[in-house]
Amino acid sequence: MSQSPHDHDHDHDHDHDDHDHHHRDDDHGHGSHLSDMQLRVRALETVLAEKGYLDPAVLDQIVEHFETKVGPHVGARVIARAWTDPAFKAALLADATAAINAAGDFGKVGDHLIAVENTEAEHHMVVCTLCSCYPWDVLGLPPVWYKSAPYRSRAVMDPRGVLGDFGVTLPATKRIRVWDSTAETRFLVLPQRPPGTDGWTEAQLAALVTRDSMIGTGLAQSPSGAQA
């Protein structure tokens, strides 16, 4: 397997925290050159490649895509355009997949994507109680907390409590709508545009749009709290 062109897992010196919600699998990996998980994954990849089912170079490209191409910055630009372009916003809310693909400069969306708009009256939040469904094409990979038992268990029953974990308090009378992504539909929250941003450009506005605000566990940043 040493001929592998993607021999880049000599990463014993990378940042490694002890966050409880991920890679506890690697607790035994510190002392050895390659961790147990790295060896196991490499073994499977080698077998699959040797048998002709995959090309490791293609895996490199997929990894690069998720590390560098897609992420919340894509969704943030979509939101900023919706805030500044009423026709785009209407198209986005009618059919988010079609609107984003038609715009042409947000990358491709393959998912059946649905955009839901936060208003003064109603706040939207997205969860996948059964697993981890998430709008990868516009937000990239989901954070660990989105895939965790605390979020998945509680978001549908106690969203205000979950919002409290994020430091967000909504008015007691505001309606809350939680979307459980139980099928292949994917959801993108269109957060409320912060006040005090009249005349801002799309790029300026995009900087206010956080990942969490597009999941519904946060709000867009206010101008005073952001680099405008």
Partner 1 sequence: MNGIHDLGGMQGFGPVVTEPNEPPFHEPWEGRVLGMVRAVLYTRAWKIDLFRYHQEVLPARTYLDVSYYHRWLLSISRTAVEKGLVTDSEIQAGHAQGPGVPVERTLTADVLAATGVIRAPFGRPAPREARFQPGDRVRTRNFHPIGHTRLPRYARDKVGTIERVHGCHAYPDAVVATGEEDPQWLYTVVFEAAALWGDNADPTLRVSIDAFEPYLEPA
Active centre residues (catalytic): 128, 131-133
CA distance 71 to 209: 12
Say which residues have a Cβ less than 8 Å from residue 181's Cβ, sequence separation at least 6: 126, 127, 128, 133, 134, 187
Structure token pair of residue 129? 């109680």
3 binds partner 1 (CB under 8 A): no
Stretch that binds partner 1, among 15-23, 78-86, 189-197, 200-208 (CB under 8 A): 15-23
Binding test (CB under 8 A) with partner 1, winner from 32, 33, 94, 182: 182
Q: Which of 81, 189, 89 is nearest to 134 (CA)?
A: 189
What minimum distance in Å lies between the beta carbon of 201 and partner 1? 25
Site for partner 1 in 131-170 (CB under 8 A): 131-132, 137, 140-141, 143-145, 147-160, 162, 165-166
The SS3 call for residue 39 is helix
For residue 224, state whether it binds partner 1 (rule: CB under 8 A): no
Is 33 a binder of partner 1 (CB under 8 A)? no
In whole angstroms, the minimum distance from the beta carbon of 96 to partner 1 comes to 12
Q: Read off φ and ψ for residue 111, nearest 5 degrees.
A: -70, 155
Is 28 an interacting residue with respect to partner 1 (CB under 8 A)?
no
User: Looking at 50, 102, 196, 201, which residue binds partner 1 (CB under 8 A)?
Assistant: 50
| Alpha helices (H) in 65-158, listed in sequence order | 72-84, 86-94, 96-103, 136-139, 149-154
Under the binding rule (CB under 8 A), the answer on residue 73 touching partner 1 is no
**Among positions 33, 94, 98, 175, the unique one binding partner 1 when judged by CB under 8 A:** 175
Task: Name the residue nearer to partner 1 (CB basis): 6 or 33.
Answer: 6
In which region does residue 64 sit, left (phi positive, over 0), alpha (psi from -120 to 50) or beta (all else)? alpha
